[in-house]
Amino acid sequence: MHKTGENVHIPDGYLSLPWIVGTYIFTIIYLAIAWRKAKRQLTPEKAAAATTLAAAIFAAMMLNWPIPGGTSLHMVGGALAAILFGPWIASWILALVVGTQCFVFHDGGITALGANILNMGIIDVWVGYLVYKAVRKVVPGEKGIILGAFLGGWLGIAIAGTAAGIEIGLSPAFPYGIEITVPVMFTWHLLLGIIEGIITASVVYYLVKKGKWVIA
């Protein structure tokens, strides 16, 4: 069977109505605010680079590595986008990717689109960004950049996966509560997130080495 969705992508039928409405409202308001902030930061060069990164993240998400035992791993890219562009532009990069996956390929449910953008485009982005910034404060220089990117990528995925677990677990329609969904989602994504951390750190390291990018 080919892929039935992405890591962290919630399909239709998992979330209860209050969660569907709540995540949609929160995500729309956040994206409106993010758009106002992003607009001020976008130069023509950044706009072209952000478009390219969005396309690259879409392509990277198609490379899912199946793991024997019944799971898979692949890039999400929220932390990477946040480190390269800051969280406001990054959220829009992920929103465009996740929206395309949903509307064109039915990857992630339309009722869950608010939640999926919340998890990948807001939570992954902000956790990745804040972890990266925190590490850079403590660890100076290149080491801080690499370590920050690794931990940002890793923890961004772990927390985003956990958030999906919370949203599903707290949906009254769901037969099991967060005491089951959260540990399951957290454990999986804590493991899968290591690869995300390695890829995030590798791309950031490459761009820093080339000296072509000013990192947030």
Partner 1 sequence: MGDSMRKAWYAIAFMIIISPLFGVILANMIGYHEPLDVAAQMLHLKDISDKINWTPFYNYTVPGLPDTIGYIISGIIGVAVVYVLGKVFFGGAKE
Residue 59 makes contact with partner 1 by CB under 8 A: yes
Tokens of 150: 């690794």
Q: Which of the stretches 22-30, 132-140, 143-151, 185-193 binds partner 1 when contact is defined by CB under 8 A?
A: 185-193
Residue 60 makes contact with partner 1 by CB under 8 A: yes
Residue 202 makes contact with partner 1 by CB under 8 A: no
Which of 166, 164, 160 has its CA nearest to residue 122? Answer: 160
Residues 86-115 that bind partner 1 (CB under 8 A): 89, 92-93, 96-97, 99-101, 103-107, 109-110
Q: Collapsing DSSP states into helix, strand and coil, what is residue 73?
A: strand
Residue 67 makes contact with partner 1 by CB under 8 A: yes
Residues 9-28 that bind partner 1 (CB under 8 A): 9-14
Q: Which of the stretches 76-84, 126-134, 141-149, 177-185 binds partner 1 when contact is defined by CB under 8 A?
A: 177-185
Handedness of CA 96, 100, 106, 111 (dihedral sign): positive
Beta bridge partners of 67: 71
Residue 6 Cβ vs partner 1, minimum distance, rounded to whole Å: 7
Do 65 and 192 contact (CB within 8 A), yes or no? no
Residue 86 or 135: the one with the smaller Cβ distance to partner 1 is: 86
Residues 6+ apart with CB under 8 A from 9: 98, 101, 107, 108, 112, 116, 120
Residue 80 Cβ vs partner 1, minimum distance, rounded to whole Å: 13
Residue 137 makes contact with partner 1 by CB under 8 A: no
Q: Which amino acid is at 121?
A: G
Residue 33 makes contact with partner 1 by CB under 8 A: no
Residue 181 makes contact with partner 1 by CB under 8 A: yes
Residue 137 or 176: the one with the smaller Cβ distance to partner 1 is: 176
Tokens of 192: 């899968």
Do 93 and 35 contact (CB within 8 A), yes or no? no
Which of 22, 4, 7 has its CA nearest to residue 172? Answer: 22
